[in-house]
Chain A
Amino acid sequence: MADIIFLLLIFFMVTTIFKMEEGLPITLPRAKSGADQERERLVHVWADRFSRISINDKLVRVSNIQAIIASRLEENRSLIVAFNVDHRTRYGLVNDIIEQLKEANAVNVSFTSMYEEGP
């Protein structure tokens, strides 16, 4: 019994990916229809309500997003850009990011949400 538990323990230890402390402190919007996203395909774009934008733990300007995402897209064609954006961010900023992604031809996006109790 203890052997089995020990094996399970090792299994979960190996498979756990700890939540990396990256990006910006934000409060995600809540949504009921959020779908699970494949972690391997995600690249995160963080934006907070003070209009700061962060990718890969670096603060970036809106005009640099296209180049960053384009280079990531070359490594992985099936990339999904996840918007980790504070719910109180100006929509105009989100739109600016979307425009940059369109230019970089990154067509798959996901608006990261926090789970809210079902309908």
Chain B
Amino acid sequence: MASMSDINFLLLIFFLVSTMFAVEKGLPMALPGKGSKTVKLKRENVLNIQAFANGSIVIRGTGPVTVKEIKPVIEQKLVANPKLVIVIETEADADYGVMVDILDELRLAKATRISLRTLRASS
């Protein structure tokens, strides 16, 4: 009888742990839908962050940065201009992971207006 409750207890712990792992994490984002209007933005309200195929990241107007440097720079710029729209321009040959790294840093910096674009290899 005692071994029975031991087995129960072990099974309980197993299912507890596996339930907790079932949660999925992700970075949510809203895309512009079909036929949504293009919005014209003032140049001073737009900040471009470019990610290149060789893994380098460049913030327009600031220069090359590492992933960890993005958050403080963006926080600073958001304080200066809360209406800032941040455009992540990723080269088509760059790794998807680099884009997620940047997006993650922007979310940590509490940036909400984010747009995704692809840089053509020629540009």
Q: Do A and B come from one complex?
A: yes
- State the interface size on chain A (CB cutoff 8 A): 54
Q: How large is the interface on B (under 10, 10 to 19, 20 to 34, 35 or more residues)?
A: 35 or more
B86 touches A (CB below 8 Å)? no
A67 touches B (CB below 8 Å)? no
Contact status B100-A29, CB under 8 Å: yes
B28's closest neighbor in chain A, by CB?
A: A110
The secondary-structure label for the interface of chain A is mixed
Contact status A87-B24, CB under 8 Å: no
Q: Which residues of B contact A29 (CB under 8 A)?
A: 96-97, 100-101
Q: Which residues of A contact B23 (CB under 8 A)?
A: 36
Q: When chains A and B are docked, how far (Å) is the Cα of A33 from the Cα of B100? A: 10
A39's closest neighbor in chain B, by CB?
A: B24
Q: When chains A and B are docked, how far (Å) is the Cα of A12 from the Cα of B7? A: 15
Contact status B5-A2, CB under 8 Å: yes
65-123 of chain B: CB within 8 A of chain A: 71, 90-101, 103-104, 107-108, 116, 118
A106 touches B (CB below 8 Å)? yes
Interface-located stretch among B10-18, B40-48, B56-64: B10-18
Contact status A102-B8, CB under 8 Å: no
Contact status B27-A111, CB under 8 Å: yes
Contact status B104-A107, CB under 8 Å: no
Q: Which residues of B contact A9 (CB under 8 A)?
A: 8, 11-12, 15
A88 touches B (CB below 8 Å)? yes
Which 7 pairs, one residue from A and one from B, show the smallest C-beta to C-beta distance?
Answer: A87-B97, A92-B92, A34-B25, A110-B26, A12-B15, A33-B107, A2-B5
Can you list 22 contacts pairing A with B, beta carbon distance less than 8 Å?
Answer: A2-B8, A5-B5, A5-B8, A5-B9, A9-B12, A12-B12, A12-B19, A29-B100, A31-B103, A36-B23, A39-B22, A82-B26, A83-B26, A88-B97, A92-B93, A95-B118, A98-B116, A106-B31, A107-B32, A110-B26, A111-B103, A119-B71
